[in-house]
Amino acid sequence: MNEPLTALEAVTKTYGQEVVLDGVTLALSVGEFVTLSGPSGAGKSTLARLLVGLSRPTSGQVLWEGRPLDGSADIRRLAGKRQIVFQNPLRSLSPRLTVEQIVVEPALIAGGGANAGELLERVGLSRRFLKRRARQLSAGECQRVALARALSTGPQLLVLDEPTSSLDPIAAAGIIRLIEEAAQERAVFAISHNNALAERATRSLFLSAGSLSEKQPVI
C-alpha cells in the first residue's frame, strides 16, 4: 500500500447540537478505490465535502500527504488536486455554458488548461457534444460530462456522490468502468449503494450514527 494521499484524523463535525461525524479516521492512497454506504442522514455527503475542502471539521484534522490542512490558502492550493462529482450532476452543470465550457472551467480556474474534446472521448462521449448544453443531455450523459469536468485538472483525489443513482443499468455499467479506470491513477472515493460498484472497490466502508466501519453490518 502506498503512503496515504489524504487522511481524516479523529474528525468530528457538528451542526449546532447535532453530531454528524464523531471521531472519524480514514486514509486514502493513490490507486485505491473506496466505496461508502450507510443510511440517509448518516453524514456521508458531509464526509465527502470534508475530503475535498468544501467543509472543515469541528475538531480533528484533515491531512494531505501527511501535512495538516489549515486555512483558505491550502484550499486554493489544492483546488485542482481534489475534485468532486455531486449526486445530481445536472444541477451542477451551468445551463448558460456549452459542454465544452463546462468541462474546461475547473482547469481554467486552477490556472491551467484542458482539451475538452479529449476529455469527452475519455469518458465515452464524442466531440459532437461540445456545443450542446446540459438540458440537451440524458442523465448518463450529464454524469459523463461531470466526470470529464472533474478530470480536467488531473486530480489526485476524485470524490463521487452516488455516481450511478439516477442511471439505467447500461449507463451505470459504463460509469462504473470509467471509475475503475480513473482509480488506476488516483485515489477514488465513492458514496454508493450500488453493489456492482462496491464489488470493484479495494475497500467498502459503512457509515452509521457518525461512526465509520470497514464492513456493512448484517441486519
pLDDT at 166: 77
Query: Residue 61: left if φ>0, alpha if ψ -120 to 50, beta else—which one?
Result: beta
**How many other CB atoms sit within 10 Å of the CB of residue 66?**
10
pLDDT at 33: 95
Model pLDDT for residues 12-50, shown as the tens digit of each residue: 999 999 999 999 999 999 999 999 999 988 999 999 999
Contact yes or no for 216/193 (Cβ under 8 A): no
More confident of the two residues 20 and 175:
20
Domain 31-40+77-213's class? Answer: alpha beta
Q: Which triple of cell numbers denotes residue 144?
A: 459523463
Decide if pLDDT at 90 tops 80: no
Distance of CA 218 to the CA centre of its chain: 27
Q: Where are the domains of the chain?
A: 31-40+77-213
What count of Cα atoms within 13 Å lies in the side-chain half-sphere of residue 170? Answer: 2
pLDDT at 217: 45
What count of Cα atoms within 13 Å lies in the side-chain half-sphere of residue 76? Answer: 5
Confidence of residue 171 (pLDDT cuts 50, 70, 90): confident
- Give 207-218 as a DSSP string: EETTEEESSPPP
Contacts of 133 (CB under 8 A, 6+ apart): 95, 97, 98, 99
